[in-house]
Amino acid sequence: MESALSHAPTITLSGGAEMPALALGTWPMNDAETADAVASALAAGYRHIDTAENYQNERGVGEGLRRSGVPREDVFITTKFNREWHSVAGAQQAFENSAERLGVDTIDLLLVHWPNPDQGRYVDAVRGLAQLRDAGKIRAYGVSNFLPEHLEAVFAAGLTPEVNQIQLDPAHVWPAEQQLHREHGIVTIAYSPLGRGGDFLDSDPVQHAAAAHRKTPSQIVLRWHVQQGNAAAPKSGNPARQRENLDIFDFALSDAEMAAITALDTGEPGRHSSRDFGH
């Protein structure tokens, strides 16, 4: 049964793939929780699911997709691989592993999950992804948690990721990093787009915009993300919250509202700048 909500608009990646701007995040759900969440999200109108090898729920994503009845070609699947696959051949093996767990023949977007600069092989991992795209096994490739110095090393090798997925929210805006992405045609995808216990949802700019547009604070912040041209992957296993998160495409924030929310940036580093391997 098709949702009454509109599907999220798509963003055209540099390689030509059309990526829905709003994804269902699945960390830290297990396979059973993920299967339920994916099935309900697809029923609500989501067409982009975000997972990773490290989340240990790719099988749940595949089960939820099959249970939903939505055709595979209508769903954009993003997944990511771990540090042991940081080589050209390793990226190929990581693809095969994830495709098997997901139960699919192709993956829409495959990412290097963290640069892991201590082992120094992330450029080869990206090179392997580019070869996978050229072979038609994936539709797009990118990175996650890459800082500017990591991206510059990739650029120096003649490679340009199509996306960089980072922790991004009104408290962690990363303006210089986002500018670097724009200069190179890289789409920014925000994970934890609603923060992790941050208080910006209660801030005056968010609360005032919520009242003005008759939306929830979470909807205001998600709209702030996508209105910049970024994508966002909020996690929710609750069908009502999933529908709420998707219902952000029938209004627009003013320039003043956007600027006020952006000004909430604390300038403090987010998780993606550390070596933590949680997301």
The owner of tokens 């992804």 is 129
Query: Is residue 190, in this structure, part of any structural domain at all?
Result: yes
The owner of tokens 């975000």 is 50
Query: Is residue 220, in this structure, part of any structural domain at all?
Result: no
Asked whether residue 52 carries a pLDDT value surpassing 80, the answer given is: yes
Query: Is residue 251, in this structure, part of any structural domain at all?
Result: no
Confidence band of 7 (pLDDT split at 50, 70, 90): confident
184 is annotated as contributing to ligand binding: no
Query: Is residue 207, in this structure, part of any structural domain at all?
Result: no
Query: Is residue 279, in this structure, part of any structural domain at all?
Result: no
Tens of pLDDT, residue by residue over 151-209, are 999 999 999 999 999 999 999 999 999 999 999 999 999 999 999 877 899 999 999 99
Confidence band of 35 (pLDDT split at 50, 70, 90): very high
Residue 252 CB partners (closer than 8 Å, separation 6+)? 223, 227
Confidence band of 269 (pLDDT split at 50, 70, 90): low
- The residue segments making up the domain with residue 118 are 10-196+230-237
Tens of pLDDT, residue by residue over 232-264, are 999 999 999 999 999 999 999 999 999 999 999
CATH number at residue 136: 3.20.20.100
Domains: count for the chain: 1
The owner of tokens 């049964």 is 1
Say how far residue 155 (Cα) sits from the centre of its chain.
21
Burial class (CB within 10 angstroms; exposed 0-12, middle 13-18, buried 19+) of 16: exposed
Task: Count CB-CB contacts under 10 A for residue 149.
Answer: 9
What integer is the mean pLDDT of 142-149?
98
- Cα 102 to Cα 141: distance, rounded to the nearest angstrom: 17
Query: Is residue 173, in this structure, part of any structural domain at all?
Result: yes
Q: Are 270 and 174 in contact (CB under 8 A)?
A: yes
Q: Which residues are catalytic?
A: 55
Query: Is residue 257, in this structure, part of any structural domain at all?
Result: no
What integer is the mean pLDDT of 25-53?
98
Q: Which residues of 75-103 are buried (b: 16+ CB within 10 A; e: fewer)?
A: bbbbbbbbbebbebebbbebbebbbebbe
Query: Is residue 219, in this structure, part of any structural domain at all?
Result: no
- Closest to 19 in 3D by CA, of 191, 230, 185: 230
Confidence band of 273 (pLDDT split at 50, 70, 90): low
Tens of pLDDT, residue by residue over 65-107, are 999 999 999 999 999 999 999 999 999 999 999 999 999 999 9
| Residue-level pLDDT at 279 | 56
Say which DSSP state 112 is in.
Answer: E
Q: Are 172 and 274 in contact (CB under 8 A)?
A: no
- Cα 68 to Cα 37: distance, rounded to the nearest angstrom: 10
Asked whether residue 1 carries a pLDDT value surpassing 60, the answer given is: no
